[in-house]
Structure 1
Amino acid sequence: MTAPPSAPPPRPTVRGVDLDPQTRCAHWRTGLDVVALRLACCPEFWACRDCHDALADHPAVPVPREGFDAPHVLCGVCRAELTVREYRTAMAGDRPACPRCGAGFNPGCSRHDHLYFAPGGAR
């Protein structure tokens, strides 16, 4: 008797305004805007902070330093979940990209890091 095929793991929930399949939203739509982020206040990922502010019923809470080793970043291309430390390391390079699939990330996202994650910690 053969074991039944296992079901693929569920895809993480991503919320946002006018989402495309790679997590781009109404606010950020370039080819490199393929990152969704999970804030400390929500179980799901958000396409961007503006989407959270538009759709959530509470203020956004950045991830505290103690949460930096948990997955709070989602690559919209390969769906890899990255820790804050992995994401910050990827963003520190000359060409920010997903460490799993190599999809490019928008280097300008570093300017908004403080909206999602507490200051400090490893980069």
Structure 2
Amino acid sequence: MMINGRRVKGAVDQETRCKHYDSLQDRIAIKFPCCQEYFPCYQCHKEHGCGGREIWLRTEFHQKAILCGSCKKEMSIQSYICSQSECPKCQVSFNPGCKWHHHLYFDI
């Protein structure tokens, strides 16, 4: 699916929800460093992407690698991590439980 000129892979809705994470607050996609493609979650990446296990290093947290599924803003990893589970542009809520999975994506 194309969202604001960016391809988000896997079966996603208009706000980047997938079959694995589909609450109203599950509305981000993450660019994976191994393939530079956006996916809603690590499971979608495993099923529809390269399946690599690379994570973003702390030195790369300035990279734009998070996409808000609501307003389509692309933000840096650092901005997302510091966002208090809210989009800095449109103020929609992100799932606060995602912080428990940060280790799957980021060098935390």
Global fold match (TM > 0.5): yes
- Structure with the bigger percentage of strand: 2
Q: Which amino acid aligns with 1:59?
A: G
Point out where structure 2 has 5 or more consecutive residues left out of the alignment. none
Question: What are the residue-to-residue correspondences of 1:36-47 with 2, within 5 Å?
Answer: 36-47=29-40
Q: Percent identity among equivalent residues?
A: 34
Residue 45 of structure 1 aligns to a residue whose secondary structure is strand
**1: CA distance between counterparts of 2:20 and 2:50?**
19
Q: Does 1:75 align with 2:64?
A: no
Contact conserved, 1:97 with 1:103, CA < 8 A, in 2?
yes
Question: What are the residue-to-residue correspondences of 1:1-80 with 2, within 5 Å?
Answer: 11-16=5-10, 18-80=11-73
Contact conserved, 1:77 with 1:103, CA < 8 A, in 2?
yes
Contact conserved, 2:9 with 2:49, CA < 8 A, in 1?
no
RMSD: 1.2
Task: Please name the residue that 1:86 is paired with.
Answer: 79
What is the number of residues matched between the two proteins?
Answer: 105
| TM-score, normalisation: structure 2 | 0.91
Residue 73 of structure 1 aligns to a residue whose secondary structure is strand
| TM-score, normalisation: structure 1 | 0.80
Larger radius of gyration: 1
- Cα displacement (A) at 1:35: 0.6
Residue 59 of structure 1 aligns to a residue whose secondary structure is coil
Contact conserved, 1:52 with 1:60, CA < 8 A, in 2?
no
Point out where structure 1 has 5 or more consecutive residues left out of the alignment. 1-9
Q: Would you identify which runs of 4 or more consecutive aligned residues in structure 1 move more than 6 Å?
A: none
